Structure 1
Amino acid sequence: MSAQSPSRVNAIEWRNNRLYLLDQRILPHEQVWIECTSAADTAIAIRDMVVRGAPAIGITAAYGYALEALRGGDMTETFRVLAASRPTAVNLFWALERMATLGTTDAASLVAEAIRIHEEDIAANLAMGNHGASVMPEGVRIYTHCNTGALATGGHGTALGVIRSAWNDGKVEQVYAGETRPWLQGARLTAWELQQDNITASLVCDGAAAQLFRQGKADWVIVGADRITANGDVANKIGTYSLAVLARHHGMKFMVAAPLSTFDLSLSSGDQIPIEQRPMSEVTSIKGIQIAPHEFPAINPSFDVTPAELIDVIATEAGLIHNPSKETVAALFARARAEGRQA
């Protein structure tokens, strides 16, 4: 039995020793569940964007690891196959290492650990949402990028979780969802999640964010993260860095919401983060329809890096990091360890 999300949206389910993933490539028009029965199936689903979002990828990888144990597979090879599916999201490696560190091939134990990872993510999102919402003023207008909701996590969400919590507190006046080229996660997924929860929101073309900010129509930008380094630099969906620059120029606040598992303290700065380069066809075509000249080259990094100095606060399940730096990140982790949290 899988963990239960408190939100109306659910993207990952564990039933009868099988993993089911809501196919996010065809939302919002169709809701189709993909069944995974092996680590190879799971790795393909992660690589092909059936599931996306750093926390959701980590949870999915943990279930994929457990699936292979149920099959009596080679767990060393299982780790390798799943680790190769996406290179940037640190939650993937964190979850796999946590599974492998159990030092067992007992399927029941590994299934139980995967379910624990899922349940802990939901609890972390709820705590993170409350921490982030605590600094939101009344009548706040929020711009968000990509999808960081229940679809990208175990449930509730990271950045969208903060928005959900602030909305439930009666603080949110308006949400703007950036469309997020080239996969359009904002248009397809975030807009759908906001609609499910009846949150007042509008969709915004990526290129229109600067004009929106110039007109003073937004107060905060809130985004998620795929990896955060020891100094507070953040790798997130491509387009995040430009939003941070725009927010600073227009006197707005910028928040990143991410669980402790998204931090990679082995890296001193964002310069060391590997940036996934995805196929050119994602830029030159939409749903198989060519929009650029045939064989025209394209640049398609999936992520960019936002320097810590452009970030006002990072919200985690263990609390807030104001003005992120090497020192403030280390202080939060020291407090988290003292409180017995996994970090």
Structure 2
Amino acid sequence: MKKISFAFLLTILSFACKKSAIGETQIYPSPDPVGTYALGADVSWLTEMEATGRKFYNASGEQQDLLKTLKDKGINTIRLRVWVNPVSGYCNTADVLVKAKRAKAMNMRLLIDFHYSDSWADPGQQNKPAAWVNQDFVTLKTSVYNHTVDVLTTLKTNNIIPEWVQVGNETNNGMLWNDGKASVNMKNFADLVLSGYNGVKAVNSSTKVVVHISNGYDNSLFRWIFDGLKANGAKWDVIGMSMYPSVTDWSAKNTQCLANMTDMVSRYGSEIMICEVGMPVSEAVACKAFIKDLIVKNKSLTNNKGLGVFYWEPQSYNSWSGYKLGAFDDTGKPTVAMDGFMP
């Protein structure tokens, strides 16, 4: 092949630009340049599933690395939960690093989700890590800060900088109960959020901090939490939401979610991310429509305030750990639901 000189390339580029400038040729940028809108999946079960022999396949039945399969479905961002001292070892700092390295190798972006617990933290349980149970509140705030810094520093040492970090998971009524239970002491909850926020910024000032609440259609819940946090000095960059509708109500719930997202932008100036979605694997066609519609609604927010949508553990086929809201079939292949992330 003939070599083309650099000068010749510059001439061609200059000519193309001139044509565009005088209107003879119009070049339209992609509506979603790489690095803007997050199409995501939480795959925190990945290493545990692989350790028990689970394998993943593309639609043609070819065995693949799960992240490759997801990337081919449009996923560009991975979400990983962090537990403090989990009994199994999965989702501790070392395990998170393994998965984060894999995501980085696939040129995928990263959302880190701190539960501040040894196990699941969600609207029904926000248990302190065993090592923190007897700490007074001042020490508890320090533990939140130090744990946040330690995990993010481990990632940074390996040249991994998350774009977003959640300080707490589905904190509908605060976290680290009972000290940080919002309905008991909103000020304490705000202080814990601020400790996490400060920990994130101390390691990577550019990383955006997410406060994550479930039921993204429930405006009164979101106003209560974020009014309380704001009044008590907490800081955040992004408001995170979960959406788990049914096949019969997803359209109505999405409409309510849009109204809530719009209110959150207007009320607090926050960016909005849908950190978790899911629907029964048996309802894959409806799930695809749900995802596509929610992405459109999130993208429609003013000033590009909508940041992305994440499926929660889509790869959990054969009801992994009893979970039935995945988006892979019983043979380990993605269902049509995952096409919701495709253009």
TM-score (norm 1): 0.25
Highest CA radius of gyration, 1 or 2?
2
TM-score (norm 2): 0.25
